[in-house]
C-alpha cells in the first residue's frame, strides 16, 4: 500500500472518529455541566466517559505516528508537553478532552473531579510507546526553555537569579539550585517545577559553571526554623485540593529531573547515548534533615550525595497513592529489588547513616562540616575537568538506563499515573494518612 492510500485511510478514519467523538463529547458536556449530584447520573457519566476513552485509545494506538508527525511538521518542531497539547487541540479537535470540561474540573477539589485529564494519559502513553515519536518528545523536553535562554545573560553577569520558588547562585564555578518553598518544607507543586527547571537550565547553559548542587534553602519558621531541609516531595495539601494537574507529573519527570540525569539537548542532534550529544555536568545532592518522596527521587539522578548526620530518606508512595516518579526503575540500582520494594510499597524509612543508607549516600557529615564537605566534593569531582565526567556519566547511562528503556518506562508511567491521580484510593490515603481535609493551603 502506497503512502497516498495510507494517508487517505488515516484521514477517513480520523473524520469518522471525530464525528463520533463530537457527538459523544457534546452530550457529555451538557450532562456534566448541568448534572445534579446524583449517584445514578454520576455512574452514567462514568460509563459514557469510558466509552469515549476506549474509542480514543483504539484510534491513537493505530494512528499516533500520523498525528505526531503532522503536529511537529514531520518531526522538525520540538514541542514541549504543554505545547503539544495545544497543537493537537488545534489540529485534531476532539481527540483530547474539551477545554470546557478541563476547566470545569479544574475548579474542584480532587475527590470531586470527574478526571477528564485522564485522556492525556492515554495520549502520552501512545506517543511514548512509539519509539520515534516518544524519543522526539523526550528530546523536546530536554531542550532549554525559552525563559532560561532569556535569563542566561543576567545570570552570567550577576551570579544569581531569584525565581521565587527556586533560586540559583554561583560561586567559584559551583552553581547551587535552591528549592525555595519553605512554607511547605520545599514541597513540589505547580508553583515550583517550572522555576526549578529554569534554574537547572541556567546551571547547564552557563559556561562558568563546572558542577551543580541541589539543596533546600533555610526554613523560616516552625520546627525546622533556621535550618536547611531537603525537598518533602509532592505538596499533598495541594494535591488533595485539586491544585496539581495530571500534566505536572510528565513535565516534572521528562523535564528538569531528566535534564539533571541526561543534560540539555541540542536541536537536530541525537540524544542517544551511543551517537548523540547533550550538555551535561555533574550534580551533587545535598540531604539535610530528610529527603522525602520527590526529594529522594532527585538523589537518584545525581553523581554524588552528601548527607547530614541524622538525616533520612523515604518514598511514601503507598500512603500518597501515586507512583514515585522514576524511582521504581532507579532505586533498585542502588539498594536492590527487595529493599526498593520495601521503600516504595511498605514505606521503609532509610537512615542515611545506616548500612542501606550508605548504598545511596556517599558521605555522611556533621552539620557543622556540611558546607565545607560540599565544597571539597565539588573540587574533587571537577579538578581534572568535566569532559571525562560527562563521558563517564554517559557510559554508566548506556548500560543502566538507555533512552529507550526510559521511554518505555515513561509510557507505562503516563497511563498508570493517570489511574492513580484520579483514583478513590488516592483521596482515601490522603485523608487517612495525611489528614488532608483539615489542612490549610
CA 407 to chain centre: 13
Per the prediction, the chain carries an average pLDDT of 93
Looking at the fold, whether 126 and 159 belong to one and the same domain comes out as no
Tell me whether residue 55 is in a domain.
Answer: yes
Task: Please count the structural domains in the chain.
Answer: 2
Q: Which helix (H) or strand (E) holds 278?
A: strand 278-279
Provide the whole-model pTM: 0.95
**Residues 235, 242: Cα–Cα separation, whole Å:** 11
> Quick one: pLDDT band at residue 122, thresholds 50, 70, 90?
very high
Share of the chain above pLDDT 90, in %: 82
Q: In what order do the strands lie in the sheet with 283-287?
A: 160-162, 166-171, 174-179, 211-216, 283-287, 304-308, 363-365
Pairing state of beta strands 290-292 and 278-279? unpaired
Confidence of residue 28 (pLDDT cuts 50, 70, 90): confident
Query: What's the pLDDT score for residue 223?
Result: 93
Q: Which of 117-131, 281-295, 419-433 has the lowest mean pLDDT?
A: 419-433
With respect to residue 254, please indicate whether it lies within any of the assigned structural domains: no
- Burial (CB < 10 A; 0-12, 13-18, 19+), residue 43, is exposed
Averaged pLDDT, 17-38: 78
Domain of residue 111, CATH code: 1.20.58.1300
Residues 305 and 385 in one domain: yes
Asked whether residue 39 is assigned to any structural domain, the reply reads yes
Q: Given the DSSP bridges, would you call strands 312-314 and 350-351 parallel, antiparallel or unpaired?
A: antiparallel
Q: Three-class SS of residue 199?
A: helix
Closest CA to 386 of 247, 279, 229, 258: 279
Span 246-265, mean pLDDT? 98
Q: Report the pLDDT value the prediction gives residue 433, as an integer from 0 to 100.
A: 83
Closest CA relative to residue 381, chosen from 214, 264, 257, 210: 210
CA–CA gap between residue 56 and residue 334 (Å, rounded): 39
**Of 331, 329, 297, which Cα lies nearest the Cα of 407?**
329
Looking at the fold, whether 231 and 299 belong to one and the same domain comes out as: yes
pLDDT of residue 5: 84
Identify the pLDDT of residue 48.
86
- In this structure, of 5-14, 31-40, 124-133, 379-388, the range with the lowest mean pLDDT score is 31-40
Residue 441 is predicted with a pLDDT of: 66
94 within domain boundaries: yes
pLDDT at 191 over 50: yes
Instruction: Tell me the CA distances in angstroms from 292 to 184, 267, 389, 413, 429, one per residue in order.
Output: 12, 35, 28, 20, 17
- Residue 331: give the domain boundaries: 145-244+282-397
- Complete DSSP assignment for 148-185: HHHHHHHHHHHSEEE-SSEEEEEETTEEEEEE--GGGT
C-beta of residue 313 within 8 angstroms of C-beta of residue 287: yes
**Of 169, 216, 111, residue with least CA distance to 436:** 111
**Do residue 134 and residue 156 come from a single domain?**
no
Tens-digit pLDDT profile for residues 351-393: 999 999 999 999 999 999 999 999 999 999 988 776 788 899 9
| Residues 75 and 184 placed together within one structural domain of the fold | no
What is the distance, to the nearest Å, from the Cα of residue 78 to the centroid of all Cα atoms in its chain? 18
Nearest Cα to Cα of residue 379 among 217, 202, 171, 196? 171
251 contacts: CB under 8 Å, gap ≥ 6: 80, 81, 82, 141, 193, 194
Whether 42 and 55 have beta carbons less than 8 Å apart is answered as: no
Residue-level pLDDT at 318: 78
Judge if 104 and 25 occupy the same domain: yes
Same domain, 109 and 180: no
Q: Which three cell numbers stand for residue 361?
A: 549516600
Cβ atoms 249, 200 nearer than 8 A = no
Provide the angle, in degrees to the nearest 10, between the axes of the packed helices 118-129 and 403-421. 160
Amino acid at each position: 500500500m502506497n503512502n497516498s492510500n495510507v494517508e487517505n485511510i488515516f484521514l477517513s478514519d480520523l473524520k469518522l472518529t471525530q464525528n463520533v467523538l463530537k457527538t459523544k463529547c457534546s452530550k457529555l458536556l451538557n450532562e456534566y455541566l448541568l448534572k445534579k449530584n446524583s449517584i445514578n447520573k454520576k455512574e452514567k457519566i462514568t460509563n459514557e466517559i469510558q466509552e469515549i476513552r476506549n474509542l480514543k485509545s483504539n484510534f491513537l494506538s493505530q494512528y499516533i505516528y500520523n498525528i505526531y508527525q503532522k503536529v511537529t511538521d514531520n518531526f522538525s518542531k520540538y514541542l514541549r508537553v504543554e505545547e503539544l497539547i495545544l497543537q493537537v487541540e488545534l489540529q485534531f479537535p476532539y481527540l483530547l478532552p474539551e477545554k470546557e470540561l478541563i476547566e470545569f474540573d479544574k475548579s474542584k477539589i480532587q475527590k470531586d473531579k470527574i478526571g477528564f485529564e485522564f485522556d492525556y494519559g492515554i495520549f502520552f502513553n501512545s506517543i511514548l510507546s512509539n519509539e520515534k515519536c516518544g524519543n522526539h518528545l523526550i528530546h523536546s523536553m530536554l531542550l532549554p526553555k525559552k525563559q532560561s535562554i532569556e535569563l542566561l545573560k543576567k545570570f552570567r553577569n550577576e551570579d544569581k537569579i531569584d525565581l521565587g520558588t527556586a533560586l540559583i547562585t554561583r560561586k567559584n564555578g559551583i552553581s547551587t539550585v535552591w528549592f525555595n518553598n519553605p512554607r511547605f518544607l520545599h514541597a513540589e507543586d505547580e508553583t515550583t517545577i517550572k522555576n526549578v527547571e529554569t534554574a537547572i537550565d541556567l546551571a547547564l547553559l552557563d559556561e562558568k559553571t563546572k558542577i551543580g548542587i541541589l539543596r533546600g534553602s533555610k526554613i523560616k519558621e516552625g520546627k525546622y526554623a533556621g535550618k536547611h531541609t531537603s525537598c518533602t516531595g509532592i505538596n499533598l495539601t495541594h494535591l488533595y485540593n485539586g491544585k496539581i494537574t495530571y500534566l505536572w507529573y510528565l513535565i516534572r519527570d521528562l523535564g528538569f529531573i531528566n535534564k539533571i540525569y541526561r543534560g540539555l539537548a541540542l536541536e537536530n542532534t541525537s540524544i542517544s547515548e551511543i551517537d548523540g550529544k547533550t550538555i551535561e555536568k555533574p550534580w551533587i545532592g545535598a540531604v539535610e534533615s530528610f529527603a522525602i518522596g520527590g526529594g529522594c527521587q532527585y538523589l537518584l539522578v545525581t553523581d554524588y550525595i552528601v548527607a547530614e548526620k541524622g538525616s533520612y530518606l523515604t518514598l511514601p508512595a503507598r500512603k500518597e497513592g501515586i507512583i514515585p516518579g522514576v524511582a521504581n526503575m532507579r532505586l533498585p540500582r542502588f539498594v536492590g529489588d527487595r529493599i526498593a520494594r520495601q521503600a516504595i510499597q511498605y514505606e521503609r524509612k532509610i537512615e542515611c547513616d545506616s548500612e542501606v543508607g550508605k548504598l545511596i549516600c556517599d558521605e555522611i557529615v556533621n552539620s557543622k562540616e556540611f558546607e565545607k564537605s560540599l565544597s571539597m566534593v565539588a573540587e574533587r569531582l571537577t579538578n581534572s575537568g568535566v569532559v571525562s565526567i560527562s563521558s563517564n556519566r554517559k557510559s554508566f547511562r548506556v548500560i543502566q538506563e538507555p533512552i529507550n528503556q526510559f521511554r518505555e518506562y515513561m509510557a507505562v508511567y503516563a497511563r498508570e499515573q493517570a489511574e492513580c491521580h484520579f483514583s478513590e484510593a488516592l483521596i482515601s490515603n490522603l485523608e487517612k494518612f495525611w489528614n488532608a481535609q483539615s489542612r490549610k493551603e
